[in-house]
Amino acid sequence: MSGYEAERIPLEQILTQMSEKITLPDTPDCTTSHNGNLGASPNSDTHPLAQTLLIVTDRTDIAKRCLQRGFAVIGYLHEQNKDVSFDGVRYLIEDISGLDAPFCELAFCRAHQLPYTVLETERCLVREITTEDVTRLYEIYADPAITSYIEALYADETAERSYIRDYIDHVYGFYGYGMWIVINKADGQLIGRAGIEPKEDFAELGYVIAREYQNHGYATEVCRAILTYAADRLGLPEVYVRVQKENAASLRVCEKLKFQPVPRSEDSDMLLFTLRLN
């Protein structure tokens, strides 16, 4: 995904390339990942290679020095180092065989504050939101038909951008999922949002598609892929969706995705559906 490649190479080879910028203790080898399409603006202490390498190490001293120079780092825990502390390392693994490309890309994106591309369908890309998406979202939400069934954005764009920054840090950062952005691959246009919203007692599917892209199957296509991702990648046991009784389009999407109605005792304009995933 996104031109991502991974390989395992000796750490000495990396140290040779880094020798002018960073000195690390000797160690037999280290797993690294390369991503040619991702990059962040480095600060004065960031090593140029930090924009293309992900370091996986079981050494806390290596991890600390790499973090100081702007590298994305994953800590590897095993029997010999299980009691050490990888301060500042966001991701730790105990099974090296589970280190796949999507996980490496996620760790790289988190380290460099880049939006992670979650999945791809035949016509769309689904990725994490950024504050740069706000302008287009206001264009979509300006249509009164859009906010008939969903909550509107903040009236103040500055407040919306602040909310998105907090959402990235606290929702993506803690749960690893949330509401994402939908991009139409044909024209590169942001056409809506879709994702799994973590609630207190359950996970909820949600989506919104721009008016000009509705009635073309985008919602069903994207939501079906998201449900597969929720089952296979997130391991969620089930997902719920709430739909207003008058929202005929969303009720049809629920039917296509095989959601089942949940009986509710209270008289409400909101219908509840569930889909068992695992």
* Band of residue 18 on the pLDDT scale cut at 50, 70, 90: low
For range 8-17, the mean pLDDT: 66
Structure tokens at 236: 């969620």
3-state secondary structure of 219: helix
* Band of residue 96 on the pLDDT scale cut at 50, 70, 90: confident
- As beta bridge partners, residue 184 has 124
* Band of residue 1 on the pLDDT scale cut at 50, 70, 90: very low
CA separation, residue 19 to residues 22, 25, 91, 188, 195 (Å): 6, 12, 26, 41, 43
CA separation, residue 206 to residues 24, 120, 194, 209 (Å): 46, 17, 6, 10
pLDDT attached to residue 48: 81
Q: Is the pLDDT of residue 36 over 50?
A: no
What pTM value is reported for the model?
Answer: 0.83
pLDDT in tens, 68-84: 889 999 999 999 998 99
pLDDT attached to residue 69: 87
Q: Is the pLDDT of residue 35 over 50?
A: no
Of 38 and 223, the one with more pLDDT:
223
30-35 and 4-9 beta bridge pairing: antiparallel
pLDDT attached to residue 31: 56
Of 8 and 86, the one with more pLDDT:
86
pLDDT attached to residue 268: 79
pLDDT attached to residue 19: 58
pLDDT attached to residue 174: 93
Query: Which of 110, 154, 162 has the alpha carbon at shortest distance from 131?
Result: 162
Q: Is the pLDDT of residue 2 over 60?
A: no
Q: Is the pLDDT of residue 40 over 80?
A: no
Share of the chain above pLDDT 70, in %: 83
72-76 and 30-35 beta bridge pairing: unpaired
Number of Cα atoms under 13 Å in the Cβ half of residue 75: 22
Taking the C-alpha atoms of residue 224 and residue 247, their distance in angstroms, rounded to an integer, is: 19
pLDDT attached to residue 7: 65
For range 238-245, the mean pLDDT: 96
Ordered domains of the chain (ranges, CATH): 4-111 (no CATH), 117-276 (3.40.630.30)
pLDDT attached to residue 15: 62
pLDDT in tens, 180-195: 999 999 999 999 999 9
- Number of Cβ atoms within 10 Å of the Cβ of 169: 11
- As beta bridge partners, residue 198 has 203
DSSP code for 210: -
Mean pLDDT score across all residues of the chain: 87
